[in-house]
């Protein structure tokens, strides 16, 4: 697939000035300038945030009301339940609030996670009826609830009160809850509105701590858990999310909680970083929800017993293995259908017995592979449930709005959606959706790779590349910096892992530079030893046999001209 390379303009004079002032490399100063992080406060906050950089939690809407009601519940030991979600954000949100409130003396506290396969996301009336029947007086939602207008009213009709904490977009009307803490409310005055659900739960803990004059360690000690949920939920890692992630990763190195320690040991990552969470921890936790075993993930986080933690971790590994098998099977079937149908503008596929807990991942992989919006629908009898992913420039949610007459339910945003429909309406929906995609000229869209800087041999050395680690944690709104290196001569080239990956040694004059390209194995057939190429990728350190060297993790290559 052709990709457009786009070099970001950088004010070199300003970059050099910042490098000299802060005694940092030109590589690092260039990335900071490209991100418009150029004044003293912003640079300090980005590179070295501290616990003093958290915003005042009482700027959040309804925070005072929520804190006063929870303190009343603690004083009277009321039966209180935390209602969350089955993904990493939801699981970590429940964990943080449960642990914190138990330590404050709220002994009669429970939690509820809807089953993804049977109940789906968010509040539901059957669950609320069960909660009422068990004698609970107060429901605190985490990572959900903002759209549960009917469900909140139903809870009140059963004699319960509700506090909503969420981070999703509200509807035109808010739930009639005692308090609705969501920084995406129209009347919000909080200076940052992109916290994850667990970030909002953490701010509630912070607010309670401040109200009763607790030592700040009483809530800051949960930042490793908050960090896991924040990075996993793909919220922008800027502002307060960056403070959470940066401080949380430092705590994570201590692995104080038995469940986290067992999970990290099992994932077998040498270094603790955002990559550890995104590729080691998050998939294992999410596999529980996807496979219908969300309770095991929560039990892992709540247990204080390392033996039990190791046992549960083995279950998570097995769920993840099964998830990978199912995902691979659906992906292969989807690719076969795509080849047969020759879909040009968008990919809309339906399959019998596809696992609807997994199709969202497959849709994401299909979109990445073909650079086209995709929606995959699994049919169970006459009902269909689907997930979709998009590409920049095509609003997937808007397209569902325009085809909603064929849908039962839908939701999401421009880049990711979920939907349900009747099987009899699938072909009509597909036809109308493909017409919309054709009008948008999606097949002419070219992926753009943003490049931070063109580099030469003098720019790369172990010390300077090591400094780039100050940019961690990487994630949404803080991607890994990409560099362009021109006119490199191929010294050796081979495919790895049965043709999947690409390994190169490249020459700049007499200096050898190692390069690896994941999922780029097909290039081994296109290029020869001696070819001159331009390479774009991120710079990393490769440690082998006690020797540390710079390696290029390639994102794309092309012949030099």
- The pairing of beta strand 374-380 with beta strand 501-508: unpaired
* Short-list 9, 46, 19, CA closest to 474: 46
Residue 94: predicted pLDDT: 97
Per-residue DSSP letters for 434-447? Answer: HHHHHHTTGGG---
Residue 118: predicted pLDDT: 83
Strand ranges in 407-546 using DSSP code E only, listed in sequence order: 409-412, 416-422, 448-451, 453-455, 483-496, 501-508, 511-517, 532-544
pLDDT tens for each residue of the chain, 561 residues long: 678 999 999 999 999 999 999 999 999 999 999 999 999 999 999 999 999 999 999 999 999 999 999 999 999 999 999 999 989 999 999 999 999 999 999 989 999 999 887 887 789 999 999 999 999 999 999 999 998 999 999 999 999 999 999 998 888 899 999 999 999 999 999 999 999 999 999 999 999 999 999 999 999 999 999 999 999 988 899 999 999 999 999 999 988 899 999 999 888 877 788 888 988 999 999 999 888 899 999 999 999 999 999 999 999 999 999 999 999 999 999 999 998 988 888 999 999 889 888 998 999 999 988 889 999 999 988 999 999 999 988 999 889 999 999 999 887 778 888 889 999 999 999 999 999 999 988 877 888 899 999 999 998 899 999 999 999 999 888 999 999 999 999 999 999 988 899 999 999 998 999 999 998 999 999 999 999 999 999 999 988 888 888 999 999 999 998
Q: Sign of torsion, CA 106 100 181 231?
A: negative
Cβ pair 540, 553 in contact under 8 A: yes
CA distance readout (Å), 337 to 40, 323, 385, 495:
54, 21, 18, 28
Strand ranges in 77-218 using DSSP code E only, listed in sequence order: 80-83, 109-112, 138-142, 161-165, 179-181
Q: Is 385 helix (H, G, I), strand (E, B) or coil?
A: strand
Q: Is 171 helix (H, G, I), strand (E, B) or coil?
A: coil
The full set of domain ranges for the chain reads 4-48+450-559, 53-222, 343-444
- The pairing of beta strand 453-455 with beta strand 416-422: unpaired
Q: 556: which strand partners?
A: 536
The predicted model scores a pTM of 0.89
CATH number at 343-444 = 3.10.310.30
Structure tokens at 230: 């924040």
Which residues contact residue 537 at a Cβ distance below 8 angstroms, ignoring those fewer than 6 apart?
Answer: 482, 483, 515, 517, 552, 553, 554, 555, 556
* Same fold flag, 4-48+450-559 and 53-222: no
Query: How far apart (Å, rounded) are the C-alpha atoms in residues 309 and 303?
Result: 7
Query: Per the omega criterion (within 30 degrees of 0), is the bond before 509 cis?
Result: no
Residue 1: predicted pLDDT: 64
Q: Is 61 helix (H, G, I), strand (E, B) or coil?
A: coil
Which residues contact residue 321 at a Cβ distance below 8 angstroms, ignoring those fewer than 6 apart?
Answer: none
- CATH topology classification for 53-222: inorganic pyrophosphatase (n-terminal core) (3.90.1640)
Residue 184: predicted pLDDT: 93
Could you say which of 3.90.76.10, 2.40.50.460, 2.60.40.10, 2.40.50.1020 is the CATH number of the domain covering 4-48+450-559?
2.40.50.460
Query: How far apart (Å, rounded) are the C-alpha atoms in residues 224 and 255?
Result: 8
Which residues contact residue 43 at a Cβ distance below 8 angstroms, ignoring those fewer than 6 apart?
Answer: 18, 22, 32, 37
């Amino acid at each position: 697939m052709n990709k457009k390379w786009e070099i970001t303009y950088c004010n070199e004079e300003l970059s050099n000035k910042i490098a000299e002032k802060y005694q940092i490399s030109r590589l690092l100063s260039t990335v900071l300038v490209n991100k418009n992080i150029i004044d003293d406060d912003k640079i300090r906050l980005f590179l070295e945030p501290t616990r003093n950089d958290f915003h005042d939690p009482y700027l959040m809407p309804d925070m005072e009301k929520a804190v006063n009601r929870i303190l009343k519940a603690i004083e009277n030991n009321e039966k209180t339940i935390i209602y969350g979600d089955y993904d990493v954000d939801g699981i970590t949100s429940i964990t943080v609030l449960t642990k914190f409130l138990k330590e404050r003396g709220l002994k009669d506290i429970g939690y509820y996670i809807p089953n993804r396969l049977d109940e789906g996301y968010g509040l539901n009336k059957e669950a609320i009826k069960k909660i009422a029947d068990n004698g609970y007086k107060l429901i605190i939602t985490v990572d959900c609830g903002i759209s549960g207008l009917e469900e909140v009213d139903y809870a009140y009709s059963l004699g319960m009160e509700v506090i909503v904490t969420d981070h999703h977009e509200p509807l035109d009307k808010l739930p009639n809850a005692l308090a609705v803490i969501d920084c995406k409310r129209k009347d919000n005055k909080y200076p940052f509105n992109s916290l994850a659900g667990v970030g909002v739960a953490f701010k509630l803990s912070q607010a309670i701590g401040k109200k009763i004059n607790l030592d700040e360690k009483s809530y800051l000690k949960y930042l490793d858990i908050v960090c896991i949920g924040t990075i996993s939920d793909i919220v922008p890692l800027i502002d307060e999310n960056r403070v959470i992630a940066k401080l949380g990763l430092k705590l994570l190195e201590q692995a104080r909680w038995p469940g986290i320690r067992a999970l990290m040991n099992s994932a077998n990552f040498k270094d603790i970083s955002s990559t550890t969470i995104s590729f080691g921890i998050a998939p294992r936790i999410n596999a529980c929800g996807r496979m219908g075993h969300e309770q095991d993930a929560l039990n892992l986080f709540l247990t204080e017993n390392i033996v039990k933690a190791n046992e549960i971790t083995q279950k998570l590994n097995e769920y993840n293995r099964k998830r990978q098998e199912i995902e691979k099977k659906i992906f292969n079937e989807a690719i076969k259908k795509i080849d047969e149908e020759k879909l040009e503008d968008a990919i809309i596929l339906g399959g019998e017995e596809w696992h609807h807990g997994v199709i969202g991942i497959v849709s994401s992989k299909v979109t990445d592979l073909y650079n086209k919006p995709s929606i995959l629908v699994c049919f169970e009898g006459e009902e269909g449930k689907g997930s979709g992913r998009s590409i920049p420039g095509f609003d997937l949610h808007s397209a569902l709005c325009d085809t909603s007459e064929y849908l039962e339910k839908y939701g999401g945003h421009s880049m990711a959606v979920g939907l349900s429909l009747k099987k009899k309406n699938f072909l009509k929906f597909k036809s109308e959706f493909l017409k919309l995609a054709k009008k948008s000229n999606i097949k002419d869209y070219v992926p753009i790779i943003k490049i931070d800087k063109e580099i030469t041999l003098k720019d790369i050395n172990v010390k300077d590349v090591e400094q780039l680690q100050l940019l961690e944690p990487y994630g949404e709104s803080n991607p890994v910096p990409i560099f362009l290196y021109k006119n490199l001569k191929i010294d050796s080239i081979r495919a790895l892992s049965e043709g999947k990956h690409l390994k190169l040694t490249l020459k700049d004059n007499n200096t050898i530079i190692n390069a690896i390209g994941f999922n780029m194995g097909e290039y081994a057939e296109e290029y020869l030893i001696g070819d001159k190429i331009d390479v774009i990728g991120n710079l990393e350190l490769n440690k082998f046999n006690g020797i540390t060297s710079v390696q290029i993790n390639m994102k794309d290559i092309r012949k030099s001209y």
